[in-house]
Amino acid sequence: MSLSVNRTPVSRSSLHRTEPSFGTRLSAYLERRVAYLLVLPTVLGIVLVDVYPLLFNFWISFQERKISSAAPTFVGLRNYQRILADPEVWNAIRVSLIFTFCSVFLSFVIGFELALLLNRQFKGRGIVRSVFIIPWAIPAFVAALAWSWMFNDQFGILSAMVRGLGWPVPIWLGRDWALWSLIGVMVWKSFPFQLVVLLAGLQAIPREQYEAAAVDGANAFRRFVSITVPLIRPVAMVGILLAAVNAFHYFTIPWILTRGGPANATNVIPIATYNIAFIAGDFGYAAAAAVLLFLFILVMSGLYIWQYVREVRDLG
């Protein structure tokens, strides 16, 4: 009779492997729990400040909730049906689209031109950059007050300049000029953002590509079209989308300067929503308008994320 012996080889690493001690496991367990406790205040803050108000606003958009009513009542989609048939809301959408498109387009053009200028080497470039950043750094409330003084028909600096040229002084915040005045202020406030974004994109373009194109005989315009425009396009799209999201829900400067007037000429959607809620006291209807504004911003944010992912993928 023969006995069989198990000769399964034992790896050397398994012989030297030891289980972690109780103290090591306890330390790892406590470290994970402490990490959760440190993150918990931030998560609670996000839930209380962002998530809960958003869900509550969505819920009351299906209710008739007025300051004069005793209790809210569920009305389904009636508030949204009212929006589709309300000419004032459609006027606010039209004004917001004009305000957003014109301000973003002009601020992008100005920011791009200045970025091309500041991308070159010249004496005092750092000082010029700092000066152009000032409008972006000034708080919106302070900027709105300063521009309200400059728009004054009697002693404002803009009126004095026009009067000095011998031209008739327009009523800057009147019905014919108010929206374009707001667009001008928004362009002044937002072009530094485009400048910073586009200048960063221009400085990321390798100089070797311009030098190689110059050696091949490409002139300045051809280098701009063939090198600058394609390589700056992803950065430009991100800047445009972020500026559009900011302009579409912008409230501070239009509210301080015109409060949506005169005759709803500058009644953008944030001001219209504010008036419906806190002037008319119709919170359910205002919540429905806010939901539509949120959906538009959500779409724009989705486009921004999609463009950002594409840019990262192309760079990778």
pLDDT band at 37 (very low <50, low <70, confident <90, very high): confident
Question: For the ranges 9-18, 19-28, 302-311, which has the lowest average pLDDT?
Answer: 9-18
Say what the pLDDT of residue 62 is: 94
Say what the pLDDT of residue 3 is: 46
Dihedral pair phi/psi, residue 166, rounded to 5°: 80, 15
Structure tokens at 232: 């700056």
- Helix ranges (H only) for 119-156 are 125-137, 140-150
Say what the pLDDT of residue 15 is: 46
Are residues 110 and 193 in contact, defined by beta-carbon separation less than 8 angstroms? no
Are residues 62 and 83 in contact, defined by beta-carbon separation less than 8 angstroms? no
- Locate the DSSP E strands across 91-204: none
Say what the pLDDT of residue 135 is: 92
| Cis-peptide into 262, omega within 30 deg | yes
Location of structure tokens 């949120």: 294
pLDDT band at 172 (very low <50, low <70, confident <90, very high): very high
Interval 182-202: pLDDT, tens: 999 999 999 999 999 999 999
The answer to whether domain 90-315 has CATH 1.10.490.20 is no
What letter does residue 122 receive in the DSSP assignment? -
Over range 222-249, report the average pLDDT: 88
Would you kindly state where each structural domain of the chain is located, as residue ranges?
90-315
